């Protein structure tokens, strides 16, 4: 996961927005020469930890307490949006992706790492069986979302994304996709 994050974040450019930034695990992975870094997170407790981390690592970034379904930013105003392990938790991922698309400029990219519904039917059935329990123990995370199909509805994902295996995690959240979705 750390290597996937590093590889993906190194490609962020220009004016960058991160959604569901959590406690800021991505902040040290961004290139130093971004035009602007705006980190958003709806959970005030996580946002406090994110701000403390920014101070600790001496990284300049703006922060804002907001969910991805309503982003208080102008349309076509970001070059890059980043979301890692977020679309599994967002209550309305369709609305979130509509907003992400709105704030991205034409040709702008959503960089994503998400754990997703398994291609293997047996594992997908296990994900369906566990979804309620997992949601309760993992802060609202859905282990069975078909996030790639959803990304494809809003963006041009193309064949460039890669799949990976989230080692050390329970099987129901191990299937990962990582890549960029272009507006």
Ligand X SMILES: C[S@@+](CC[C@H](N)C(=O)[O-])C[C@H]1O[C@@H](n2cnc3c(N)ncnc32)[C@H](O)[C@@H]1O
H/E segment holding residue 49: helix 44-57
Q: Which of 43, 77, 131, 166 binds ligand X (CB under 6 A)?
A: 43
- Asked whether position 67 contacts ligand X by CB under 6 A, the answer is yes
CB of 116 to ligand X, least distance (A): 14
DSSP 84-146: ES-TTT-S-HHHHHHHHHHHEEEEEEEEEEEE---SSHHHHHHHHHHHHHHHHHTTT--TT--
> Is 93 an interacting residue with respect to ligand X (CB under 6 A)?
no
Helix axes 147-154, 93-103, angle to 10 degrees: 40
Among 37, 68, 148, 178, binds ligand X (CB under 6 A): 68
Instruction: Specify the DSSP element, H or E, that contains 106.
Output: strand 104-115
Question: Which of 9, 16, 21, 151 is close enough to bind ligand X by CB under 6 A?
Answer: 21
Q: Determine if 46 is a binding residue for ligand X (CB under 6 A).
A: yes
Q: How far is the CB of 140 from ligand X (least distance, A)?
A: 6
Could you tell me the smallest distance in angstroms from the CB atom of residue 171 to ligand X? Answer: 17
Smallest distance, ligand X to C-beta of residue 90, A: 4
């Amino acid at each position: 996961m750390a290597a996937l994050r590093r590889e993906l974040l190194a490609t962020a450019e220009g004016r960058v927005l991160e959604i569901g930034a959590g406690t800021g695990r991505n902040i040290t992975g961004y290139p130093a020469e971004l035009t602007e870094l705006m980190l958003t997170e709806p959970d005030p407790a996580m946002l406090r930890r994110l701000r403390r981390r920014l101070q600790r690592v001496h990284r300049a970034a703006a922060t804002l307490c907001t969910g991805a379904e309503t982003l208080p930013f102008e349309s076509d105003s970001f070059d890059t949006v980043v979301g890692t392990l977020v679309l599994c938790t967002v209550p309305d991922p369709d609305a979130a992706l509509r907003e992400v698309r709105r704030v991205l400029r034409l040709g702008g990219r959503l960089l994503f790492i998400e754990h997703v519904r398994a291609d293997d039917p047996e594992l997908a059935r296990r994900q369906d069986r566990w979804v309620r329990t997992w949601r309760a123990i993992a802060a609202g995370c859905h282990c069975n979302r078909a996030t790639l199909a959803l990304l494809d509805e809003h963006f041009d994902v193309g064949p460039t994304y890669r799949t990976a295996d989230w080692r050390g995690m329970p099987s129901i959240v191990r299937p990962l996709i990582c890549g960029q979705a272009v507006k």
